[in-house]
Structure 1
Amino acid sequence: MLVALIVACEVGFWVLLAVGLALRYLARMPRAGAAVLLMEPLLELILLIVTAIDLKNGAPADWKHGLAAVYIGFTVGYGHYTIRWVDGHAAHRLGGGPPPVKPPRHGLARARHEGKLWVRTVVMAAVAAGLLQLAVWYVGDDGDTRSLHEWQLTAVRIVGLHGLIALSYLVWRKKDKEGPGRTAANGEAARPTEKTFG
């Protein structure tokens, strides 16, 4: 049941996003669209409550609870970013706005962009690890919490792996073969798209 709920929350995320953007740009109802988009966190709240109830009812702490924690962490770290990204494209295609500028591809600007994404991954892992620790304390010493601890280690590994990838963009910077002017323009690329919503 918990896995089905996680899938339902993921589907619900994209459904609410589509409805919110349709109201905002197709129906020309920006306030209604914003209200629908602000309902997104309710999905994670429902998942958190159901996960806690599942544990309270005696379900053994296993990979499903770990997956739920990581999913909630991902939504906290990347949910708003994803909404802004999609909203930027919707504003262009449906609202007649300027085309969203692509993220920088070269030099220090790209390294900064990757660093910001890594910070989001850190937030994701911190939220997931915190929720998993709460679950460990909730289950107590009498229950089997090995799976929850394994998911915590998985979250740490994800942060480490993504950190190495982000660092590689700083150490081995890709040069812009078309000249510094293009790189400078791309240096501001991520910002307009990210700030479209909100």
Structure 2
Amino acid sequence: SAGVPSTIIQRQRRELHLLMAELKDRETELNAMAASHLKQHHAWEQYRQRVLTLEQNCARLDEEVQMRNEVIRVLTKHVRVVETREKEAQKELDEARQQICELEKEQQHISEKSQDFQEKNQSLNSTVMALSTQVGSLQVREEELSSMLKLKDQDVAKASSYILDLSGRLQDLETSLKESRSQESKLLKDLQENKVSYKEARHEVTQLKNLGLAGVT
């Protein structure tokens, strides 16, 4: 040391200090790089875990989607079956309603015909009553003519002919009345049968409605 100049020693010390400062800076940089690398490694590990979790969730969701698709397929098939049954029930209901409508029209027609025959029957009854009254009057007249028989044989013959004619008309009217009553009885019987058919049709419609509701349920 005694042989080395102080200036060299001082220069070497300065170089040593500079080298140590540079090494310290390098150490600081390396530490920063190591910290950054460790941070990136943690972030990558978290990302990897997140990817694994997402993959598991995706697999679970795919399985649930397949199960739900199967359920939807079964339900869709069931809905189609129900819709088919509903269409068939609706068709049968429409046919039953059409039959009821036709029966109601037929019943209305029969009721109108029955009303017409009743009116004709009343008219014939009135005519019979009027003729009966007229016959009574003619019988009185006949008695009067009989009392005058000794005086006017010719008038009695004419009166007898007139009475016979009225009796024939009365008999014809009574025959027509019997026919009208027979037709009225037949119409009433047909009306009763149509009422029974109408009730049976309505009962069938009710059963079809209940069957349709049970099928939908």
TM-score normalized with structure 2 length: 0.28
Q: Report which of the two has the higher share of helix.
A: 2
Q: Max radius of gyration: which structure?
A: 2
Q: Relative contact order: is structure 1 or structure 2 higher (C-alpha 8 Å, sep ≥ 6)?
A: 2
TM-score normalized with structure 1 length: 0.30
